[in-house]
Amino acid sequence: MNGIKVNGLTHDYGHGRGVFDVSFEVKEGETLGFLGPNGAGKSTTMRHLMGFSKPQSGTVEINGLDCTKEHCKVMEEVGYLPGEVVMPDGLNGWQFIKMMQGMKRTGSDERVRYLLERFKADPSGSVRRMSIGEKRKLAVAAAFMNDAGVLLLDEPSSGLDPLMQEVFIDLIREEKERGKTILLSSHIFSEVEALCDRIAIIKDGKLVSVVDAAEIKHGLHNVITVGFSSEKDYSEFLSSGMEVSGDDRKELKCSVIVDDEEINRFIALIKRFRIRSFAEHSVTLEEYFMHFYKNTKTFGGAAYA
Ligand SMILES: Nc1ncnc2c1ncn2[C@@H]1O[C@H](COP(=O)(O)OP(=O)(O)OP(=O)(O)O)[C@@H](O)[C@H]1O
Ligand SMILES: [Mg+2]
């Protein structure tokens, strides 16, 4: 199968750290956003896909190749942007680019020049003296230079200024149109929303949700914020058993995530109270994600419309 396949990937580093029974697929031509708090296991999963670490159990495949056993072949099929860019100290930018071209055994000079120009990167200086952003731009050029069909991008736009983030988003859009298969980890919701077809959320090394980006955009879940007329009504609603995602005692407001099947129960309940205001909006990706970040069953406090 072309694309990325992670099946039961487990690597236990002890003390609850690592990745545990992680399974997902990125189909050919699809972009999967990989979201999760710090230390969740995103980079670890990507390192296994690059064959840098060996799974304790489970398998990782790219374009039907076993990433652990066929590491060298996989390297040729993949463009990888690591989360942390480490460059050998004694090199200048051009030498780094040449080194990467040698390692990948591809990467035409023309494409390298195109990428460097696009990101306004200047490889003439020593990498030791480059800023984080300057190094990141070279690493982006290196990841894209072999025009690989599969891209593993670990927080690709971290360290890039807002202008360069835009350049980067445009580049990914073009790569998507050209049919690339992309796994993209990020902490930037707007970037994930703009680029990803599906989103996988990982927490404490375990996959907790895989959702269609369109499902969130089209608002399958809604947040309803109700303002109550009195402290008594507000308190009674809070103790009614309805799962409240956010509340503001000062404003006497409560927010509730209501799915289509819960709407009647919610309306029947709310009729018992005197209400001052009522507002509804679709759950944003950020709210959806924060729900998993916060380790609660609710959607956090950012729910006021
Ligand atoms: N080689 C290793 N030895 C021990 N622990 C490790 C090793 N590699 C990763 N870990 C642990 O596994 C967990 C997952 O780390 P990982 O780097 O994959 O997180 P992440 O999701 O990429 O986080 P971030 O958003 O901060 O980049 C962390 O707790 C980390 O300390
Ligand atoms: Mg990481």
Average pLDDT of the segment spanning 114-131: 92
Domains of the chain, each with CATH number or no CATH: 3-217 (3.40.50.300), 222-293 (3.30.70)
Mean of all residue pLDDT scores within the chain: 88
C-alpha distances in angstroms, 67 versus 44, 49, 64, 100?
A: 14, 6, 9, 20
CA angle 160, 166, 169 (to 5 degrees): 100
pTM of the model: 0.83
C-alpha distances in angstroms, 172 versus 16, 152, 304?
A: 34, 12, 33
Q: Supply φ then ψ for residue 199, to 5 degrees.
A: -130, 125
**213 band by pLDDT with thresholds 50, 70 and 90:** confident
Atom of ligand 1 nearest to the CA of 205: 14
C-alpha distances in angstroms, 151 versus 29, 46, 57?
A: 10, 10, 24
Kindly identify the ligand whose nearest atom is closest to the C-alpha of 154.
2
pLDDT value at residue 294 = 63
Q: Supply φ then ψ for residue 108, to 5 degrees.
A: -65, 150
**Beta carbon of 12 within 6 Å of any ligand 1 atom:** no
List the beta bridge partners of residue 198: 32, 212
**Beta carbon of 239 within 6 Å of any ligand 1 atom:** no
Q: What sign does the dihedral 157-159-163-164 (CA atoms) show? A: negative
**Beta carbon of 18 within 6 Å of any ligand 1 atom:** yes
Report pLDDT digits (tens) over 124-164. 999 999 999 999 999 999 999 989 999 999 999 888 999 99
Task: Spell out the residues 6+ positions from residue 242 whose beta carbon is closer than 8 angstroms to its own.
Answer: 256, 266, 269
**Beta carbon of 82 within 6 Å of any ligand 1 atom:** no
Task: Compute the distance from residue 82 Cα to the ligand 2 centre, in Å.
Answer: 8
- CA-nearest residue for atom 8, ligand 1, is 44
pLDDT value at residue 102 = 80
Report pLDDT digits (tens) over 26-44. 999 999 999 999 999 999 9
Atom of ligand 1 nearest to the CA of 40: 21
Task: Compute the distance from residue 4 Cα to the ligand 2 centre, in Å.
Answer: 19
- CA-nearest residue for atom 1, ligand 1, is 13
Selection from 160, 102, 172, 106 nearest residue 135 by Cα: 160
Task: Compute the distance from residue 260 Cα to the ligand 1 centre, in Å.
Answer: 38
**220 band by pLDDT with thresholds 50, 70 and 90:** low
pLDDT value at residue 207 = 95
Least confident piece of the model among 109-118, 199-208, 260-269: 260-269
Distance CA 101, CA 143 (A): 10
Report pLDDT digits (tens) over 155-197. 998 889 999 999 999 999 999 999 999 999 998 888 998 899 9
User: 42, 56, 203, 207: which to mutate for ligand 1, most atoms within 8 A of CB?
Assistant: 42
**Beta carbon of 44 within 6 Å of any ligand 1 atom:** yes
